[in-house]
Structure 1
């Protein structure tokens, strides 16, 4: 078994992502498995941990089809994607943003460019859709948004080159992870701890208590197989009880709350890092 040691020159996420884990990785490291062969991330999002670890073998999935299309285009057609983003960059203004937001595109490459453009220019990099599945985040207040980070996209493309990327519900990981040589990292939409929590609006399908219970059951099955499982979530009794029932360990992480309409409610909060070992 090969020890997975993070490379010194690691790429960073190319998307801004609400709840992204880049700033928390240093706190995660003491609790992550030291040795594994295959890495699985069923709620891909911004992929911060994947880009930090750069595992040799990975399966990256998410239920968000536009996100997965974007990752595939970054992996397979990064130069074509950069050309389209440069075009978006040259036209960017308020009217153009809302014009692009209101359009539907069917071509994968154009869809990926649209996704990244909106991500870089919308409010706080938030991904939120309405009940019809349409992106509805307003324009952010940026003087010079980094719409086309060419070097970042190229380094991400290289890191993703050997990854299997597909759209799937998180339970699909049960089809892949089967042994102690597998490591699964779950970063689900967090269980809301207040009425202003955003994370249940990730897609047109809400992620409620029954889904968190399905996730717990999936984790329990993986643990029975010997798979190394790590889950992050909000610090609340409901989540703690779910995982304590199956013997998982609870660790507390200090995280910065960066998304709240009331700036006085931003600051440090506790989150949970939950492990099967």
Structure 2
């Protein structure tokens, strides 16, 4: 039975919270759940699989999940010290520009990421080409920096089930997937236009070459008789790339963007391979 208290602890651009009901219609029966682009974990926490391999290329994000799993009490204690003040915010944001950042403990780094996510402008996680967090202070009146019961609930979920947490390439993350397993891909989306606003979530650029490499991985998983579901933008490039697969159009609301005029309803696609066991 799922624990309703287990849900995303971060706001994450491209997160799937408002598409959970739609995506659940396409979740098959499976043995092990794989999610190579974990992000905020909305689908993971909605499904709460007993056996899963989760991954993201963002090292700071994955550090957060590992700290919640292994050191949640220390994380909660560290989160208590943060202040919703502009000068303090920029001091904390500055950490990854300092030479001694790598000397910070995993708990301090996880606490920093959660604090910045809760207090930065529009809850947007963005880094520059050097991998430095560069979102301005959000000026929120009373942000909920510490959600103690939520963190504890996630801690229990990660420890009471067989959840492997990786920080590697998406192809490497699914190398152990086999027939009967289910892989959900939610990669950085193909831009809706050549001039579409691009936000970097880590220092790795996910361009069309990477989209093509991902498609080859989907092909390989299909040959291995794994069940695959992929989310992406509804663009001519993506439709052509996956023309040999079943494609379902869904409507999504996007609320996290630095440009308020680029928030709202947009079409997305779900790409489905032919090894499903659901009805």
Which residue is equivalent to 2:13?
18
Q: How far is the alpha carbon of 1:257 from its aligned partner?
A: 2.2
Equivalent positions of 1:1-277 (< 5 A) are 7=2, 9=4, 11-33=6-28, 35-88=29-82, 91-104=83-96, 105=101, 106-161=104-159, 162=161, 163-179=163-179, 181-194=180-193, 195-199=195-199, 201-244=200-243, 247-277=244-274
Q: Which structure would you say has the larger RCO, counting Cα contacts within 8 Å and 6 or more residues apart? A: 2
1:101-134 deviations in whole A, cap 9, x for unaligned?
Answer: 0013331111110111111111222111111111
2:27 & 2:165 partners in 1: Cα distance?
22
Q: Distance in 1 between matches of 2:72 and 2:5?
A: 18
Is the CA contact (8 Å cut-off) linking 1:66 and 1:111 kept in structure 2?
yes
Paired with 2:93 and 2:247, the residues of 1 have a C-alpha distance of 40
Give the superposition deviation at 1:262.
4.3
The two structures have a TM-score, normalised by structure 2, of 0.91
CA contact (8 A) 2:124 2:257 kept: no
**1:10–1:51 CA contact under 8 A, matched in 2:** no
Could you list the runs of 5+ residues in structure 2 that have no partner in the other structure? 275-279
93 and 48 in structure 1: CA distance in 2 versus 1, 3 angstrom threshold:
same
Q: Distance in 1 between matches of 2:221 and 2:144?
A: 40
> How many Å apart are 1:178 and its aligned residue?
1.9
- In structure 1, distance between residues paired with 2:23 and 2:117: 26
Structure 1 segments unaligned to the other structure (5+ residues): 1-5
- Structure 1 Cα separation of the partners of residues 63 and 257 of structure 2: 29
Shift of 1:193: 1.1
SS of 1:60's equivalent? strand
Distance across 1 between alignment mates of 2:256 and 2:45: 23
In 1: Cα distance, 2:259 partner to 2:14 partner: 17
SS at match of 1:252: strand
Aligned residues: 265
DSSP-derived class of the 1:232 partner: strand
Bigger Cα displacement from structure 2, 218-227 vs 105-114? 105-114
Structure 2 SS opposite 1:45: coil
SS at match of 1:198: coil
**Partner Cα distance (2:197, 2:38) in 1:** 19
SS at match of 2:152: helix
* SS of residue matched to 2:271: strand
